[in-house]
């Protein structure tokens, strides 16, 4: 008897009868008993009945297959790129090793060195061509890659002009993306430093239009500043500045740029901007642009105002020279000191970022001139611990001089400016070694730029040291709204501070202290032997605020040092090259004063009567001194002997 149960072990499931499936799903058993449990469909039937699930599973499998098919060419492309880069790196390493080591001449005859060098250069050129052949047509792919960009830079460095132009042709369409790239902007810098002038100019021309965008980028800003400082011509610099200021008014800016280019081609043209005919002075570009377009002056000035206001809180951008020029050009359009002060107020805390360029230093100096007492204190506070470094800067010293010229609080200046300036010896990296105390005195008096801050106190606004065309922008008395103290009073109070320091270290050495006299002697030799130091000392000794008695004491001290130097001679008394400059030149048997020392003594004898009288008295007292002095400087003796 066969089994009627579908779930019995070893039994086969019954075949379903079409059309007979009821609610129970089964047929009564042959024995007439209960109906059997509902039959469970076969596995393949279950799958067929649930068609949606089958469709989902098939779709997922189809998607995976499609994704794999898409990844396959990408992987092949990446693999191909890595393969190209791997081959290029091998050639690049050989090229770097060849360039760094240079042509080896060991065992090479003298006549063959030139030939060997030519062979090495030919090999380097061959490697550069091979690298370019590997990257040909694919340079934009490798610009953002660290090693790829390095290899492209070496292609530009070692290849011929045609190859460099071919590289530029591939970089130009993606120039903006490359300029904003961490690694790509170095390739553009290499192009800006190319030996071919036409190639450099074409790169700069391509950078002019995107200047406003790039200057706000962390990498593009460095690139734009590098182009402005090194590669751009005068007309291109003007266009870059106008792009930053007037970039929002593109239609008007295009006409201005056309006039600038016309002036470059034909300086005498009537259509040229007036300042470009006679030579551009700082701060006249934007003013003349506005003056030449009276109808559109208001919208142009509004666009420039919006542009420069956006830089007020961006320290990263305020370190660029092109931004300093833009700020100075915009500030020069103001004639009202109060409006200047309102505009410059947000930039005070960023002063240290702006003093390393001419326009930046002029901007900060004008900022100090129009500021009120509270803002000036804030500005001086921003220079804390940087005064000596700023004073030694080629342009930064203009700000220090401006502060000494306009700030009424002389106690603040004495402590925060002069005090820090004259305490530079605390810095182990000072210009003069700290063994010669006080190093700050010799360092400041002898420095080409730092000394001007002191000379401004000794002889304010003297044309011997301050060019009037440049410094007139700093010393504009019409903008002094908040300087109430008279200039003479300010000078006298500041001179008192400096006078005490110089008298202490130069003219009042106490012999009771060990080495004090020798220290004063060494310090004087240091200053007198320096061209700038001797000029600073001369201005101090001829200052009107120095009394006649103090001048006599100073002259006697200098004559004593000169006599001591004459008696010691070069071998005994002069400082050697490691310690500082010497007063003498030539062999011991035929010594003479150096030209710097001779000019100092001659000029001081003419300008300072006590000095002349002290030298003449010394020659009359000691005939041997006169003979020795005549051998050292015959011109000095002739000047002293003439009436």
Token pair listed for 611: 């000095």
Q: What is the pLDDT of residue 35?
A: 57
Best CA proximity match to 206, nearest among 167, 233, 175: 175
For residue 227, give Cα distances in angstroms to 88, 236, 369.
29, 10, 32
Q: Is residue 263 within 8 Å of 272, Cβ to Cβ?
A: yes
Q: How many helices (H) and strands (E) does the chain have?
A: 35, 2
Q: What is the pLDDT of residue 233?
A: 92
Q: Is 492 exposed, middle or buried (0-12, 13-18, 19+ CB in 10 A)?
A: middle
- Count CA atoms within 13 Å of residue 211 on its CB side: 32
Give per-residue pLDDT as tens, 333-379. 988 899 999 999 999 999 999 999 999 999 999 999 999 999 999 99
More confident residue, 416 or 519: 416
Out of 6-20, 143-157, 260-274, pick the least confident. Answer: 6-20
How far is the C-alpha of 201 from the C-alpha of 264, rounded, in Å?
A: 14
Judged against a pLDDT cut of 50, whether residue 426 lies above it is answered with no
Q: What is the pLDDT of residue 253?
A: 76
Judged against a pLDDT cut of 60, whether residue 554 lies above it is answered with yes
Neighbouring-strand partners of residue 35: 28
Q: What is the pLDDT of residue 250?
A: 77
**pLDDT band with cut points at 50, 70 and 90 for residue 8:** very low
How far is the C-alpha of 235 from the C-alpha of 208, rounded, in Å?
A: 11
- Count CA atoms within 13 Å of residue 373 on its CB side: 8
Judged against a pLDDT cut of 90, whether residue 4 lies above it is answered with no
How far is the C-alpha of 623 from the C-alpha of 138, rounded, in Å?
A: 86
Q: Is residue 330 within 8 Å of 308, Cβ to Cβ?
A: yes
Best CA proximity match to 481, nearest among 373, 389, 350, 581: 373
How far is the C-alpha of 434 from the C-alpha of 440, rounded, in Å?
A: 8
How far is the C-alpha of 129 from the C-alpha of 88, rounded, in Å?
A: 11
> Which range in 145-159, 460-474, 612-626 is most confidently predicted, on average pLDDT?
145-159
Q: What is the pLDDT of residue 89?
A: 93
Mean pLDDT, residues 443-457 taken together = 92
3-state DSSP assignment of residue 584: strand
Give per-residue pLDDT as tens, 48-72. 444 444 444 455 566 666 676 666 6
For residue 362, give Cα distances in angstroms to 11, 317, 343, 450, 473.
104, 18, 15, 17, 7
Mean pLDDT, residues 403-421 taken together = 92
Judged against a pLDDT cut of 50, whether residue 142 lies above it is answered with yes
3-state DSSP assignment of residue 35: strand
Best CA proximity match to 487, nearest among 409, 399, 405: 405
Q: What is the pLDDT of residue 264?
A: 63
Mean pLDDT, residues 328-337 taken together = 90
Q: In the 3-class helix/strand/coil scheme, how is 209-273 assigned residue by residue?
A: CCHHHHCCCCCHHHHHHHHHHHHCCHHHHHHHHHHHHHCCCHHHHHHHHHHHHHHHHCCCCCCCC
Q: Is residue 624 within 8 Å of 558, Cβ to Cβ?
A: no
> How does DSSP classify residue 585?
E
Q: What is the pLDDT of residue 619?
A: 87
Best CA proximity match to 528, nearest among 427, 633, 394: 633
Whether the CA torsion 540, 542, 544, 545 is positive or negative: it is positive
In 10 A of CB 513, how many CB atoms?
9
**pLDDT band with cut points at 50, 70 and 90 for residue 117:** confident
Q: What is the pLDDT of residue 36?
A: 57
**pLDDT band with cut points at 50, 70 and 90 for residue 282:** low
For tokens 């090194």, name the residue.
230
How far is the C-alpha of 308 from the C-alpha of 343, rounded, in Å?
A: 10
Q: Which helix (H) or strand (E) holds 441?
A: helix 439-446
Rounded to a whole number, what is the largest CA-CA distance in the chain? Answer: 160
Best CA proximity match to 313, nearest among 363, 365, 356, 353: 353
DSSP 372-433: -HHHHHHHHHHTTTTHHHHHTSTTTHHHHHHHHHH---HHHHIIIIIHHHHTGGGSTT-SS-
Q: Which helix (H) or strand (E) holds 328?
A: helix 321-331
Give per-residue pLDDT as tens, 290-321. 776 667 788 888 889 999 999 987 888 999 99
Give per-residue pLDDT as tens, 504-514. 777 765 444 44
Token pair listed for 52: 């949606």
Mean pLDDT, residues 435-460 taken together = 80
Mean pLDDT, residues 382-404 taken together = 94
More confident residue, 65 or 547: 547
In total, the chain counts a number of residues equal to 643
% of the chain at pLDDT higher than 90: 42
Q: Is residue 592 within 8 Å of 584, Cβ to Cβ?
A: yes
**pLDDT band with cut points at 50, 70 and 90 for residue 593:** confident
Exposed e or buried b for every residue in 293-309, given b needs 16+ CB within 10 A?
Answer: eeebeeebbebbeebbe
Q: Is 590 exposed, middle or buried (0-12, 13-18, 19+ CB in 10 A)?
A: exposed
**pLDDT band with cut points at 50, 70 and 90 for residue 623:** confident
| Angle subtended at Cα 70 by Cα 68 and Cα 76, rounded to the nearest 5 degrees | 95
**Which domains are assigned to the chain?**
62-101+115-232 (1.25.10.10), 245-333 (no CATH), 509-641 (no CATH)
How far is the C-alpha of 7 from the C-alpha of 39, rounded, in Å?
A: 9
What pTM does this model have?
0.79
Give per-residue pLDDT as tens, 68-113. 666 666 556 567 888 999 999 999 999 999 888 766 555 555 557 7
Mean pLDDT over the full length of the chain: 80
For residue 332, give Cα distances in angstroms to 48, 226, 359, 529.
85, 25, 11, 42
Give per-residue pLDDT as tens, 608-621. 999 999 988 888 88
């Amino acid at each position: 008897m066969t089994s009627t149960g579908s779930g019995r072990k070893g039994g086969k499931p019954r075949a379903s009868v079409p059309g007979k499936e009821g609610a129970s799903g089964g047929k009564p058993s042959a024995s007439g008993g209960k109906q059997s449990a509902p039959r469970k469909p076969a596995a393949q039937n279950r799958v067929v009945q649930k068609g949606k699930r089958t469709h989902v599973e098939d779709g997922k499998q189809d998607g995976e297959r499609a994704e794999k098919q898409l990844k396959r060419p990408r992987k092949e492309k990446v693999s191909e790129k890595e393969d190209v880069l791997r081959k290029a790196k091998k050639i690049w390493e050989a090229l770097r090793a060849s360039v760094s080591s240079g042509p080896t001449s060991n065992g090479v005859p003298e006549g063959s060195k030139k030939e060997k060098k030519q062979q090495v250069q030919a090999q380097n050129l061959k490697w550069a061509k091979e690298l370019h052949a590997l990257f040909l047509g694919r340079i934009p792919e490798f610009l953002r890659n660290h090693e790829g960009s390095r290899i492209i830079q070496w292609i530009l460095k070692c290849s011929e002009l045609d190859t460099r132009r071919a590289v530029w042709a591939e970089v130009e369409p993606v120039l903006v993306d490359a300029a904003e790239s961490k690694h790509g902007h170095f390739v553009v810098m290499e192009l800006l430093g190319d030996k071919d002038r036409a190639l450099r100019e074409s790169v700069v021309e391509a950078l002019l239009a995107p200047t406003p965008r790039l200057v706000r980028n962390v990498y593009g800003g460095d690139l734009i500043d590098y182009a402005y400082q090194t590669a751009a011509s005068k007309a291109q610099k003007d266009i870059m500045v106008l792009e930053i200021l007037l970039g929002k008014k593109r239609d008007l800016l295009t006409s201005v740029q056309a006039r600038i280019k016309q002036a470059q081609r034909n300086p005498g043209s009537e259509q040229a901007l007036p300042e470009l005919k006679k030579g551009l002075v700082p701060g006249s570009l934007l003013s003349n642009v506005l003056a030449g377009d009276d109808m559109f002056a208001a919208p142009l000035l509004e666009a420039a105002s919006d542009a420069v206001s956006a830089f007020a809180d961006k320290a990263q951008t305020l370190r660029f020279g092109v931004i300093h020029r833009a700020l100075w050009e915009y500030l020069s359009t103001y004639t009202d000191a109060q409006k200047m002060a309102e505009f410059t107020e947000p930039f005070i805390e960023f002063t240290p970022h702006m003093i390393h360029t001419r326009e930046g230093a002029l901007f900060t100096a004008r900022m100090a001139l129009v500021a009120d007492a509270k803002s000036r204190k804030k500005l001086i506070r921003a220079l804390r611990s940087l005064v000596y470094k700023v004073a030694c800067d080629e342009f930064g010293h203009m700000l220090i001089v401006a502060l000494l010229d306009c700030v009424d609080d002389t106690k603040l200046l004495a402590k925060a400016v002069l005090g820090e300036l004259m305490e530079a010896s605390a810095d182990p990296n000072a210009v003069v070694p700290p063994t010669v105390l006080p190093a700050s005195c010799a360092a400041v008096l002898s420095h080409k730029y730092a000394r001007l801050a002191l000379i401004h106190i000794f002889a304010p606004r003297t044309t011997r040291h301050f060019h009037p065309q440049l410094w007139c922008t700093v010393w504009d008395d019409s903008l002094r709204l908040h300087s109430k103290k008279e200039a003479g009073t300010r000078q006298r109070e500041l001179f008192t501070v400096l006078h005490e320091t110089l008298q202490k270290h130069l003219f009042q050495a106490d012999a009771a202290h060990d080495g004090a006299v020798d220290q004063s002697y060494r310090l004087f030799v240091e200053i007198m032997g320096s061209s700038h130091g001797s000029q600073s000392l001369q201005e101090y000794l001829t200052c009107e605020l120095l009394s006649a008695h103090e001048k006599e004491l100073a002259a006697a001290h200098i004559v004593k040092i000169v006599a001591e130097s004459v008696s010691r001679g070069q071998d005994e008394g002069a400082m050697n090259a490691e310690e500082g400059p010497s007063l003498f030149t030539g062999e011991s048997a035929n010594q003479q004063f150096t030209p710097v020392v001779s000019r100092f003594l001659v000029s001081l004898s003419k300008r300072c009567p006590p000095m002349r009288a002290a030298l003449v008295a010394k020659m009359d007292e000691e005939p041997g001194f006169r003979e020795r002095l005549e051998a050292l400087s015959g011109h000095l003796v002739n000047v002293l002997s003439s009436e």
